[in-house]
Amino acid sequence: MTGLDFEEMLDIARKHRILIGSLVGIGVSFAAMRRYFAGGVCRSKARLDGKTVIITGANTGIGKETAIDLASRGAKVILACRDVMRAERAATDILKKSNNQNVVVKIVDLASLDSIRKFADNINKSEPKIDILINNAGIMMCPYWKTQDGFEMQFGVNHLGHFLLTNLLLDKIKSSAPARIINVSSRAHTRTDKLDFDDLNSEKNYNSMAAYRQSKLANVLFTRELSRRLQGTNVTANSLHPGVVDTELTRYLPQSVPFYFRILFAPIIYIIGKTPLQGAQTTIYCAVEESLANVTGKYFSDCAIKEESKAAQEDEAAKKLWEVSEKLVGLRK
Ligand SMILES: NC(=O)c1ccc[n+]([C@@H]2O[C@H](COP(=O)([O-])OP(=O)(O)OC[C@H]3O[C@@H](n4cnc5c(N)ncnc54)[C@H](OP(=O)(O)O)[C@@H]3O)[C@@H](O)[C@H]2O)c1
Ligand SMILES: *[C@@H]1O[C@H](CO)[C@@H](O)[C@H](O)[C@H]1NC(C)=O
Ligand SMILES: *[C@@H]1O[C@H](CO)[C@@H](O)[C@H](O)[C@H]1NC(C)=O
Ligand SMILES: *[C@@H]1O[C@H](CO)[C@@H](O)[C@H](O)[C@H]1NC(C)=O
Ligand SMILES: *[C@@H]1O[C@H](CO)[C@@H](O)[C@H](O)[C@H]1NC(C)=O
């Protein structure tokens, strides 16, 4: 049960309205259930002194908790965020909680290829190495918006933005080997049959939930292709599902999900949802766990390897997506 995602919750809510309603009504022991749903925990005590970590979307939610943990282990943590104010505020907090002064903010808007290039350029010049890259930033079920370069927002940010970022930083990451790249995907990726290459940008038909699933499937497919391309480099690439986590990821739901749904939704999230700290465990595990040193191309949930969906195991689709993405972000003509 702990591997569910928001969309599945919506589906369950739809199907079992009455049951869930009465469950909530009876007032079952919330505390006990919340503990049950808290999921896997990273128990590694590995230190990261002298290591450099980049985390996208580290100013809130799962990314922020990941930053606090990795900074506590001694890493230099670069918060790759789009909003200066939000990021600086988070940095102050992360610094305090981790007791590590080596926490810096660098601005990047993943909805802008230009911003990503500037960020990568800055990192390339200022950082001698990158030991861990965590592609965590994400956006879910927003209205039909476009990125600066005209891509559908969820595909653009969750997939294409991280695609370009990862590729631009790849040489530096390789030269820092052993290194790790981690993609925060979602179990939502299992709820779509295949990547719709004919409409990657949802131009023919936009469904906010479907677009999120597609973007998260793209994350897992890319892990596959990337880890294949990184063979023999001592750089690993893995993706993961953090669980159902109570974060700001739901910020656009009021615009895409009816009110009565959300009313139903709130107590379920309260019961089965993880806190951001619990939700960050699998990311932290993939970043630090010693036994994963040579593990690559895998998909994790609750601090364990899980099987990704069939659609996410298709090497052909992974390869094709890589090539299409290269063209879309201008890495190849
Ligand atoms: N929460 C869950 O249940 C759940 C389940 C499955 C997967 N995930 C995945 O977990 C990851 C983290 O999500 P979360 O739950 O922690 O959500 P969150 O609290 O909403 O945090 C998302 C982060 O991404 C950043 N971001 C969004 N668009 C960006 C852009 N264009 N450029 C740079 N940064 C951008 C946000 O920055 P701002 O604060 O400036 O907007 C924020 O820091 C996402 O990839 C999400 O898909 C979450
Ligand atoms: C990083 O710098 C190296 C040379 O120092 C250069 O070859 C490479 O193209 C640069 N990469 C990026 C993304 O700027
Ligand atoms: C992460 O996802 C991005 C975009 O989908 C992709 O470019 C990158 O190769 C992926 N990396 C890993 C480790 O999966
Ligand atoms: C990878 O690591 C192994 C052992 O740690 C080392 O022998 C090998 O040279 C490394 N390969 C590269 C490409 O760095
Ligand atoms: C990873 O592989 C290297 C050799 O390539 C080996 O020295 C090391 O012990 C392996 N680490 C683990 C945790 O399996």
- In the numeric block, which tokens belong to residue 120? 């990568």
122-149 residue pLDDT tens:
999 999 999 999 999 999 999 999 999 9
- In the numeric block, which tokens belong to residue 85? 């104010």
Name the closest ligand to CA 176: 4
Question: Is the Cβ–Cβ distance between 70 and 284 less than 8 Å?
Answer: yes
Pairing of strands 299-301, 304-306: antiparallel
- The residue written with tokens 């069939």 in the block is 310
Determine the Cα–Cα distance for residues 148 and 329; give it in Å rounded to an integer: 12
The rounded mean pLDDT for the chain is 92
pLDDT at 2 over 60: no
Determine the Cα–Cα distance for residues 113 and 110; give it in Å rounded to an integer: 7
Task: Say which amino acid occupies 3.
Answer: G
Q: Say what percent of the chain tops pLDDT 90.
A: 75
Question: Is the Cβ–Cβ distance between 318 and 224 less than 8 Å?
Answer: yes
CATH number of 40-329: 3.40.50.720
187-246 residue pLDDT tens:
888 888 889 999 999 999 999 999 999 999 999 999 899 999 999 999 999 999 999 998
pLDDT band at 12 (very low <50, low <70, confident <90, very high): confident
Q: In what helix (H) or strand (E) does residue 132 lie, and over which residues does it extend? A: strand 132-135
Output DSSP code: residue 145.
-
- What pLDDT does residue 171 have? 97
pLDDT band at 3 (very low <50, low <70, confident <90, very high): low
Determine the Cα–Cα distance for residues 178 and 200; give it in Å rounded to an integer: 34
- Whole-model pTM: value is 0.89
The atom number, within ligand 2, closest to the CA of 121 reads 14
Q: In what helix (H) or strand (E) does residue 301 lie, and over which residues does it extend? A: strand 299-301
Query: Rg of the chain over CA atoms, in angstroms?
Result: 19
Provide mean pLDDT across the span 13-28. Answer: 75
Q: Which of 164, 171, 329 to mutate to test the pocket of ligand 2 (most atoms within 8 A of CB)?
A: 171
pLDDT at 298 over 70: yes
The atom number, within ligand 5, closest to the CA of 293 reads 13
Q: Is the peptide bond before 178 cis (omega within 30 degrees of 0)?
A: yes
Q: Hey, which residues are catalytic here? A: 212
Ligand 4 neighbours, Cβ below 6 Å, are 177, 232-234
Ligand 3 neighbours, Cβ below 6 Å, are 135, 159, 162-163, 166, 181, 183, 218-219, 222-223, 226, 237, 239
Segments making up each domain of the chain, as ranges: 40-329
